[in-house]
Amino acid sequence: MRSTLTRWTFALALGVGLCGAAAAQKVRLTTSAGDIVVQLDAEKAPKSTANFLQYVKAGHYNGTIFHRVIDNFMIQGGGMTADMNEKATRPPIANEARNGLSNERGTIAMARTADPNSATAQFYINVRDNPFLDAANARDGHGYTVFGRVVEGMDTVVEKIKTAPTGIKNGHENVPLKAIVITKATVEK
């Protein structure tokens, strides 16, 4: 009996481990500069992860651009079309910046306005460590929610995007002169 129970407990633990691994969802951003794959952290940022996945599954990111690119800081996208029109979004989500994740190089986080609970579809990828964006260090006391990490394309695609020549377009600064388009965003199997 004990042997059977031990095997069952081990199988259950293994199953839970497999389920946990399966829950670490990945999203592929196919861009005009190459592919970026991000692994989401639903455990530490459940609202932000669910929100991002809803936009991916709805096709919201398809045809959007990286509209704000600042070398040695971050690349931001997910909300504007190439003609700098902002796409309609769902209602904003609550800030989850106190989740233990830091704005380190290679992490993906939710962009927002001065209102800490204003994140919708726009996101950014940190191209260096930006601890001043974490809740513990933020001037506004709230910070920006990290919800995943780039697992493919950081040293190639993101590095290429961050050095794109930029200028002003339709009143927006730091816009790449040649549009860097997210042609498709897909959930990885």
Q: What's the confidence (pLDDT) of residue 18?
A: 38
Using an 8 Å Cβ cutoff, are 67 and 84 in contact?
A: yes
Degrees to nearest 5, angle at CA 84 with 78 and 86: 55
Reduce the DSSP state of residue 133 to 3 states and report it. Answer: helix
Joined together, the tokens standing for residue 14 give: 């293994």
Counting Cβ atoms within 10 Å, is residue 186 exposed (0-12), middle (13-18) or buried (19+)? middle
What is the number of alpha carbons within 13 Å of residue 9 lying toward its C-beta?
6
Q: What's the confidence (pLDDT) of residue 95?
A: 98
Q: Give the separation between CA 38 and CA 81, rounded to whole angstroms.
A: 21
pTM over 0.95? The answer is no
pLDDT digits (tens, 9 = 90+) for 126-138: 999 999 999 999 9
pLDDT digits (tens, 9 = 90+) for 159-180: 999 999 999 999 999 999 999 9
Percent of the chain predicted with pLDDT > 90: 87
- The candidate with the shortest Cα–Cα distance to 145, out of 95, 74, 106, is 95
Q: Give the separation between CA 97 and CA 122, rounded to whole angstroms.
A: 15
Q: Give the separation between CA 43 and CA 97, rounded to whole angstroms.
A: 13
pLDDT digits (tens, 9 = 90+) for 6-60: 333 333 333 334 344 445 799 999 999 999 999 999 999 999 999 999 999 999 9
Q: Give the separation between CA 125 and CA 155, rounded to whole angstroms.
A: 12
pLDDT digits (tens, 9 = 90+) for 73-100: 999 999 999 999 999 999 999 999 999 9
